[in-house]
Amino acid sequence: MEIKTLQSIDSTNAALKRWLKKRTTREPAAIIAQSQTQGRGQMGTSWQDTPDESALLSVGFFLKSLPIQQQFFISMAVALAVKACLKHFGLSPTIKWPNDLYCNGHKIAGILIENQLVGATIQNVVVGVGINVNQASFPGLPHATSIFLCSGHKLAPRDVALQCIDELEMRMDWIHAQRFDFIKKNYLQQLYGVAAAKPVMLPDGSVTNGIVRDVTSSGRIVMAFESGETADFDIKEVQWQLPLR
Ligand code: BTN
């Protein structure tokens, strides 16, 4: 794996995409940054970091041929990799569908996956991960936390980023080997709301208890409710009630 470390960049995802266009090899490549000026989050949001206190990284992987309909397997594998990275540093985070990592009910890491398609096939994937490492507070972000707040330990953000890259490489081998059932089984075992029903807000704004029954390969979540009904939802249609308990 070729790894570039930068002090400051607009966004590691954007920088990696620029780099991948110029590279001639299909080997995986990664960028680690100490801070971002235009960090990007899911669904067009921004991702703020405190310079030198977060692990900010993007890794690019080339795939042989993964149909776009199976894209959520990448998301599951990446969430499992970030969870394993945090476990390496002594935490036991929960995965919140689709792929946020929570510790003690607060968000500790976010994932932004950008697929490059050729027709209906994913040709390469840029996996961006932001992990809050040493922050002692998050003014204006009541639902955020860091490794330091959860464990009491300060770490070098670069060590966390390198560990995360290792874990991602390992999980991406599962994708290359098409171990889809294995990935999904692991993901569902770790997912918030699978073991017991939890309060969730439905698209009409009502809150009820729901339990996760499944996720589809395109990423929809299948939930069962107290009423006995089952329904599936797209990203942002349903929201667990925060903080997660
Ligand atoms: C989210 O939870 O909304 C996803 C946040 C992803 C942030 C990371 S930080 C490194 C990489 N570069 C970006 O611009 N975004 C991702």
Upstream peptide bond of 93 is cis (omega within 30 degrees of 0): no
Nearest ligand 1 atom to alpha carbon 56:
10
Ligand 1, residue 107: give the atom nearest the CA.
2
The verdict on residue 53 lying in a domain is yes
Atom 2 of ligand 1, nearest CA residue? 110
Distance in angstroms (rounded) separating the CA atoms of residues 56 and 160: 9
Please compute the mean of the pLDDT values over residues 126-141 and round it to a whole number: 96
pTM of the model: 0.94
Same domain? For 12 and 117 the reply is: yes
215 and 169 part of one domain: no
Q: Which strands make up the sheet holding 121-132, listed edge to edge?
A: 2-9, 29-36, 54-67, 121-132, 106-118, 100-103, 94-96
- CA nearest neighbour of 47 among 144, 130, 165, 141: 130
Q: Which residue has the tokens 């089984």?
A: 185
Q: Measured in angstroms, how far is the CA atom of residue 127 from the centroid of ligand 1? A: 9
- Nearest atom of ligand 1 to the alpha carbon of 110: 2
What separation in Å is there between the alpha carbon of 33 and the centre of ligand 1?
Answer: 12
Please tell me whether residues 170 and 226 are part of one structural domain. Answer: no
CA of 228 to the centre of ligand 1 (A): 37
Tell me: do 139 and 186 sit in the same domain.
Answer: yes
Query: Domain for residue 158, yes or no?
Result: yes
Q: What is d(CA 199, CA 221) in angstroms, rounded to the nearest whole number?
A: 15
Q: Is the distance from the beta carbon of residue 97 to the nearest atom of ligand 1 less than 6 Å?
A: no
CB 58 near ligand 1, within 6 Å: yes
Residue 35: pLDDT band with limits 50, 70, 90: very high
Indicate if ligand 1 lies below 6 Å from the C-beta of 54: no
- Closest atom of ligand 1 to 109 CA is 2
Give the ligand 1 atom nearest the CA of 13. Answer: 12
Task: Assess whether 101 and 174 both reside in one domain.
Answer: yes
Looking at the structure, tell me whether residues 174 and 156 fall in a common domain.
Answer: yes
Sheet holding 207-215, edge to edge: 230-233, 221-225, 207-215, 198-201, 239-240
> What is the domain extent for residue 231?
198-240
> Please, how many CA atoms are within 13 Å of residue 206, restricted to the half-sphere of its CB?
5
Residues 149 and 227 in one domain: no
Residue 245 maps to a domain: no
**Is residue 186 domain-shared with residue 208, that is, in the same domain?**
no
Strand partners, 6: 33
- The first and second tokens of residue 100, run together, are 């946020």
| Cα 237 to ligand 1 centroid, rounded to whole Å | 21
Q: How far is the CA of 221 from the centre of ligand 1 (A)?
A: 22
CA dist list (Å): 84 to 160, 178, 196: 11, 20, 23
Q: Give the Cβ contact number of residue 162 at 10 Å.
A: 19
**Same-domain status, 171 and 207:** no
Half-sphere exposure of 55 (CA within 13 A, CB side): 29
Does ligand 1 lie within 6 Å of residue 39's CB atom?
Answer: yes
> What is d(CA 236, CA 122) in angstroms, rounded to the nearest whole number?
23
Same domain, 13 and 123: yes
- At residue 164, the pLDDT reads 98
Give yes or no: residues 110 and 20 share one domain.
yes
State the CATH number of the domain containing residue 27: 3.30.930.10
What is residue 92's predicted lDDT score, i.e. its pLDDT? 95
Same domain, residue pair 97 and 164 = yes
Whether 138 has a pLDDT exceeding 90, the answer reads yes
Is residue 191 predicted with pLDDT exceeding 90? Answer: yes
pLDDT in tens, 9-31: 999 999 999 999 999 999 999 99
pLDDT band at 217 (very low <50, low <70, confident <90, very high): confident
Considering its fold, how many domains does the chain have in total?
A: 2
Ligand 1: which atom is nearest the Cα of residue 39? 14
